Structure 1
Amino acid sequence: MHNGLSLGYVIPNSASTLSAPLTFRNVSLANATRARLVFNGYYQGCGTNGIRLGTGRLRYQLNDAPIHVRPFTPGETAMIDTPGQTGGYSHAIDVPLAELVNGDNAVRFSTLNIESGYPNAVLNLDLVIDFGVNFLRMDGLE
């Protein structure tokens, strides 16, 4: 935990390599109904070979589960193709609860087909867990 800081982590652009794991500690899945990875991503859309973001993919893996390959949405693709856009996105990606565990959970990232000479990165990661309507989690509230 780094209170008050905006932290970024460089991720590789590779089909065979993922980033070092980033760990969410002390996760409780009791009464969980939904989970999302919420983070900022920074990607340069136009590579040295002219590739635009439309062919790019975000790869992520939770714990030792299979790697997910996520295409960018049409809106995300249109945004990066807009002149003056600098490559910053806010993501909220649904993740399978079955791939999470009580306790520590690790996530790893990479991109495919997004290279421009600048590194891609993820920033400000959160694991957001929704709970059933009859369950109110009180720890952390003042």
Structure 2
Amino acid sequence: MIAFIDTYRDQFGVEAICRVLQTADCGFLTSRGYRAAKSRPASTRAVRDRMLIEDMQRIHAENYSVYGYRKMHHAMRRAGWDIGRDQTARLMKTAGLHGVRRGRTPMTTTRAESPDGRPDLVKREFAAAGPNRLWVADIT
């Protein structure tokens, strides 16, 4: 909410944005609350998260950017951080870090390089005049 107000404050003004957001039932912030939120210092969690993300990015780069959250959790614990697995996943998502999956993606279909040159002997008419006159098979 605060980032949204920061983006549009020069265009519309803080008070007008807060007034409109309150009428839309999604605004919980008054102009006074916005200014208080901007002046208050960062929380302990936010400060620690910034430190963890910096170290996490360094460890991720040292390991060729292939670690997922499980291996990153173990690497952070070895580095001396007391951090949980879910917290590691949350911070990796925030920092835009992700692991690399092993193996290849399966190739299920290969397109033909040239158009189908086989003749259409039925001429797309699949109704037979009698039994054993027309045999059609579908291998898809």
Structure 1 and Structure 2 fold alike (TM over 0.5): no
Of structures 1 and 2, the one with the larger relative CO (CA 8 A, separation 6+) is: 1
Report the structure, 1 or 2, having the larger strand content. 1
After TM superposition, the score normalised by the length of structure 2 is 0.20
